Structure 1
Amino acid sequence: MCTRVLWPDANGSVLTGRNMDFRFDLQTNLWALPRGVKRDDGVAGELSWSAKYGSVVATAMDIFSADGINEAGLSGHILWLAESNYGARDESRPVLSQAVWLQYILDNFATVAEAVDWMNQTQVQIAPMVDPTSGVEPALHLALDDATGDSAIIEYIDGKLNAHHDRSYTVMTNSPPFDQQLELLKGYEGFGGDKPIPGSTVASDRFVRAAHYAARLPEPSTQLQGIAAILSVMRNAAQPFRTPDEGKPDASQTIWQVVADLTNKRYVYESTTRPNIVWVDLTDLDLREGAPQLKLDLQSKLALQGGIAGNVSSQFADSGPLNLLTIPVMNELLAAAKKKS
């Protein structure tokens, strides 16, 4: 469920791509979020802040920041990791709900190093949530990358924060945890071993395949060539639509892909069910403090006959603020659903 690839030397640009793999449509829209927006941790409101940086994010059901880029060129990507365990609540440490985790990073930091330093110093905890629409509690990890080409993979294993921080960490998928993925990679051709490049959609195979093709990308001569090149890698690591195998009713498929140009501040989105590519240039957006939060309603605009394509920076509209799901609201929704059943 999901693949992320960082290309730190695309002829002077830093590009990152990700596939969103999930078993159902996440009703994703894009949001332009200006500086100065006030938010809190989504748990008890003990940690609150005003956004230092504006950002563009791709949401899940307009209640969860799943992917995005800020105006400083820091990008983040939430992926699934079944082994995630955030540990018992420690009241001495700050906490962020899963829904606001990425947004806090984009709001407050310009580089991977800044974000990792803060997480290591505070030992911030992540509060798991239950998706009110499905009853599933997500198990998540986070990839970060920035305009310098730096990278980090943030995981919580057995309640412990593991921040894998190194510019060489250009690929991330799902299980097993990142340190084990690196060990498995060593067994394949080109990475120290003699196994051929694998072809299945298993996360460990996608990890190898993405690393293999990302290392062989030709230098682009234009921004368009660079974006097309990294999209070709993401498509190679994508999961096709399929009937789930026996005993695996929740098999995922790739539902959308994004590419973030961290140097030129462009965010590219492609749906696999509404296949027009659209992009947003952050420099075309009003991200000044006091500007409204704007939404690009992909659910309706991509479904129109002919849809939308190309630069859609001017098509964001004010439909009210983005309200990320909080744990108190989640509990209310779950209680209401329980009463109905």
Structure 2
Amino acid sequence: MCSRIQWKANGQPVLVGRNMDWTARMGTKLYAMPKGIERDGLVDETPLKWTSRYGSVVTISWDCATADGINEAGLNGNLLYLAESNFGQRDPSLPGISIALWVQYLLDTCATVAEAVAAARAWQVQPFELVHQGVKADAPLHLSLSDATGDSAIIEILDGTPRIHHGPEHTVLTNSPIYDEQLVLLKQYEGLGGKKPIPGTMEAEDRFARGAFYLTKLPEQPESYQAAVAGVLSVIRNMATPLGANDPERPNIAATIWRTIGDCTNKRYFFEFCDMPNVIWVNLDNLDLSEGASVRMFNLAADMEAAGEVSSRFQPAESIDFQKANTAVTWQPAA
């Protein structure tokens, strides 16, 4: 499931597009998280503890996990599925954090990709249990990061150890195989080092190739900000899986159910459900993210006429009860 791209044109902001692909609804909502919130990493031994230094707007799935978001410093984070993820045995000598809070911790505490990368080896991520088609599995996820300078990082956890690819050249991410292997496969395609035509299937390596190829086709000088955002949308939508195209045996092949664009430069966050024509966005400067402000929530699924800038539609909400590591997600869609 999932695809991510990063793009910056001359005179335009750093823009990050991502698709969320999954076989069922996820109860997805947007939350405004103010600075000054005290959090716990939600593991049994030596949990990581922190107080948020930056406010953020995040996408919460299953009412218990931050899947995506951007903070007021312009750091953008995206969780994507990676079947090869292996979080290893818990080492209580390291502070631990539930994967439900992986993105949230970095948005709470870091302004740049470099800061996030420096922190990534200082503590240990632990999964919670997902239930997919009735089968339990440790949440096999990897992470992409972007910031307002155009820096980028991909973080995979393989055999219990973070494997980090850091640099602005890391502009595309999908799912299996692991990132090193994706880069090798990419070289076989026309315009990317090889002679094969660009593939069109729903496989993760094919979506990876399409994203890399079509990023090279965007104009070097978009006519406007709107054209730049539309260009990123045109590429990330090209990497989508159509509604209804689910493989019940393979979470890697699932319909794209929602999509975001993070503007790291202007601190703006776009969101759309793929079964609705509305595109909404939030200017973080229009939200009160100061210490002591309330957590606020916007639910597009319950406000189906919303479009454009929606910061005024956020309503006070309870804090998220994030999923503890090594416990099973019990969320069910409303009838």
TM > 0.5: yes
Deviations 1:291-322 (A, max 9, x none): 000000222112xxxx1111101000012212
Residue number in structure 1 paired with 2:238? 236
Q: Of 198, 220, 223, which aligns to 1:221? A: 223
Deviations 1:21-51 (A, max 9, x none): 0011111000000000111101136321110
Q: Give the AA of the match of 1:156.
A: I
The separation in 1 between residues aligned to 2:245 and 2:315, in whole angstroms, is 37
Q: What secondary structure, in the 3-state scheme, does the structure 2 residue paired with 1:39 have? A: strand
The separation in 2 between residues aligned to 1:299 and 1:80, in whole angstroms, is 23
Work out whether 1:51 is the aligned partner of 2:49.
no
The separation in 1 between residues aligned to 2:72 and 2:23, in whole angstroms, is 31
Given that 1:34 and 1:289 are in contact with CA atoms closer than 8 Å, whether structure 2 keeps it comes out as yes
Q: Give the AA of the match of 1:110.
A: A
The separation in 1 between residues aligned to 2:217 and 2:17, in whole angstroms, is 15
Residue number in structure 2 paired with 1:118? 119
Q: What secondary structure, in the 3-state scheme, does the structure 1 residue paired with 2:226 have? A: helix
Alpha-carbon deviation of 1:266? 0.7
Q: What secondary structure, in the 3-state scheme, does the structure 2 residue paired with 1:228 have? A: helix
Work out whether 1:323 is the aligned partner of 2:321.
yes
Identity over aligned pairs, percent: 47
Residue number in structure 2 paired with 1:313? 311
Q: Give the AA of the match of 1:312.
A: V
Residue number in structure 2 paired with 1:94? 95
Deviations 1:233-278 (A, max 9, x none): 0110000123545865884100011101110111000111122110
Work out whether 1:129 is the aligned partner of 2:131.
no
What TM-score, normalized to structure 1? 0.91
Can you give the 5+ residue segments of structure 2 that lack an aligned partner in the other structure? 331-335
Which residues in structure 2 correspond to 1:1-341 (within 5 Å)?
Answer: 1-9=1-9, 11-44=11-44, 46-120=47-121, 122=122, 124-131=123-130, 135-218=136-219, 219-242=221-244, 244=246, 251-302=253-304, 307-327=305-325, 330=327
Q: Give the AA of the match of 2:51.
A: S
The separation in 2 between residues aligned to 1:65 and 1:164, in whole angstroms, is 22
313-322 or 241-250, which deviates more: 241-250
Q: Give the AA of the match of 1:260.
A: G
Q: What secondary structure, in the 3-state scheme, does the structure 1 residue paired with 2:233 have? A: helix
The separation in 1 between residues aligned to 2:137 and 2:231, in whole angstroms, is 35
Q: Give the AA of the match of 1:301.
A: D
Can you give the 5+ residue segments of structure 1 that lack an aligned partner in the other structure? 335-341
Alpha-carbon deviation of 1:327? 3.3
Alpha-carbon deviation of 1:92? 1.5
Given the superposition, is the C-alpha separation of residues 170 and 244 from structure 1 closer, same or farther in structure 2, using an over 3 Å criterion?
closer
The separation in 1 between residues aligned to 2:246 and 2:293, in whole angstroms, is 45
Given the superposition, is the C-alpha separation of residues 206 and 243 from structure 1 closer, same or farther in structure 2, using an over 3 Å criterion?
closer
Q: What secondary structure, in the 3-state scheme, does the structure 1 residue paired with 2:315 have? A: coil
Alpha-carbon deviation of 1:14? 0.5
Tell me how many residue pairs correspond in the alignment. 327
Q: What secondary structure, in the 3-state scheme, does the structure 1 residue paired with 2:66 have? A: strand
The separation in 2 between residues aligned to 1:20 and 1:233, in whole angstroms, is 14
Alignment root-mean-square deviation, CA: 2.0
Q: What secondary structure, in the 3-state scheme, does the structure 1 residue paired with 2:68 have? A: strand
The separation in 2 between residues aligned to 1:137 and 1:60, in whole angstroms, is 16
311-320 or 238-247, which deviates more: 238-247
Given that 2:240 and 2:255 are in contact with CA atoms closer than 8 Å, whether structure 1 keeps it comes out as yes
The separation in 2 between residues aligned to 1:241 and 1:317, in whole angstroms, is 30
The separation in 2 between residues aligned to 1:47 and 1:98, in whole angstroms, is 12
Higher helix share: 1
